[in-house]
Structure 1
Amino acid sequence: MDTFTELTADRFPLIRDIGRNRTDNLYTHPDRILDYHVFLYVAEGSMQVIEEGTSYVVKEKEYLFLNKNQHHWGLPETPAETSWYWIHFNTLSDDRKDYNAYTPLPELEYYYPDHYEYRVALPKYGVAPIGTEQQFLSMIKEMQEPSIHKMTRISLNVFQFFLDLNAAAKDGPAGAAHRLTERVMAILAANLEQPFDAAHLQAQLNMNYSYISSSFKKSTGQTIVEAHTKLRLSKAIELMRSSSLNIAEISEQLGYQNPFYFSRVFKKVFGEPPSSFMRQFYRL
């Protein structure tokens, strides 16, 4: 995936403005350098634009990100009756280079200390998701109406839209790896009450375990055993919330024969022992 930029999960983009345009004549994109990013979506026709010497032709239902502080311009090659939408936005400067490039796995529903410390890669160019134009019309309408926290709400809506772009990009060449990851997670989720069994996983998928393990690590940034452990601990939290079981009983139900070992694993992942975590669910 040719990446335009990376957002962090704990910071949303700051929107300057959103708009729509249509040309009745042959159009030439302005020659300029901006101090903000541009997201361009073509609803009808096609848009020609050059960024730092690289030429793009954005066709109908496609999008392109243009980087701030880079020279972009156009030739008189955008045909009449082309219509397009744009988002002008900035991202907060971020020196947190240690944030990882992998999103938390979908089956892990509970916060853990580094949950939001990851980056979201946005594709430079691609096909927009279905409903993009409707989203733009809604956001433009919101821009035109006075409301409390208007710009923050619009920024959050755009962040959600950018997350959808990131998700849609995974349907491309990396799609097979992501589908395998989903199958692995489904099998792990169905076997939470027992220790991890590589042979069982291999048999269920009818694939070599070394290949499964390598693909999973490349796709998620963590090992299958780490994912299985987090799934089991998420189940433990669910039991804390929905049952009257004590720590030892929860440990035993999830296949941990030693509750002290279970407590050590829990603290390593969530930053506190299960007894402390459990207190927040007590009702006075």
Structure 2
Amino acid sequence: MDYTMVEEKSSTLVSDFAMKNFRIKDGFSGELQINIPREIVINKLRKKQFLGNLFITHIGFFPKAKFHFRERPFGCADNILIYCAEGKGHYQTEQAEHTLLPGQFFMLPPGQFHMYQADLKNPWSIYWIHFSGDMLKTFNHLIKADDFVAPTKVKNEIKIIEQWSDIYSALSAGFEQSNLTYANLSLYKLLATFVCPIEFIKPLADEDPISRSIAYMKANIHLPLTVQELAARQNLSGSHFMIRFKSKTGTSPIDYLIRLKIQFACQLLKQTDLRVNEVAEKTGYQDVFYFSRIFKKYTGVPPTKFRHTAPRRS
């Protein structure tokens, strides 16, 4: 976590920016975050034909990110896209000050000053992604990226979360070339969903409730979800939901959810130095001993042994 005590600044930005408080870069309860290692970016993305055109460098989800704050005086080398699912936040560019509300996104081009912060009273929950590449300048020209610096309403929130979750799941499984290729080809579809006019996207007449449930599971891996809650979100009874879910996936909703949680826990154990109780919390388990039993049941080894025997990602 990056905690910095800041002094009050003279600024015309909304008062939230001018208040003395702790400002936090990351480390929020329930957050999801993957930072692609530099050597992976260079050797498996930037040097690869086609993949080097546009590729993901960082991706994450910060739920109810109280005191979240970032300031980059000289901007960033990447495009930064932030989508607000809940709450609100405020941000400043060289040109203007803005407030981001639920169902809106903004995209910042590289190399320009920016500062953004969660609202103090109603902090945002955000899905975000950094991407770069040899064709980034061409991409920004093509889509008129400056049009998306201001808050922009999205047209299909469910599809955005589904597509983000697919990318995150691919990268969380590791940095093998197949995972990187899938995730970065999927980036194009995600970006198109954000920036292309709605008339070119035809919504399905009847979206599959099981697919929506799976997307919700992936996006809320940090929550202790129940079958009743998942079924209610799709306006189905618990029994009918379970039958439809098993028919589509071959397994029960709870077993599917546990496998997603254990997969994410494996990633955290391999790629971070979080303690086992912290990994348990980030996967929705408040009881670390119960988490350890579940982990061993699905992997054959307890979390501590898995961490010491599994190869670590650099």
TM-score grouping bracket, smaller chain normalisation: 0.3 to 0.5
Greater RCO structure (CA 8 Å; 6+ sep) = 1
Structure number with bigger Rg:
1
Q: State the TM-score, normalized to the length of structure 2.
A: 0.32
Q: State the TM-score, normalized to the length of structure 1.
A: 0.35
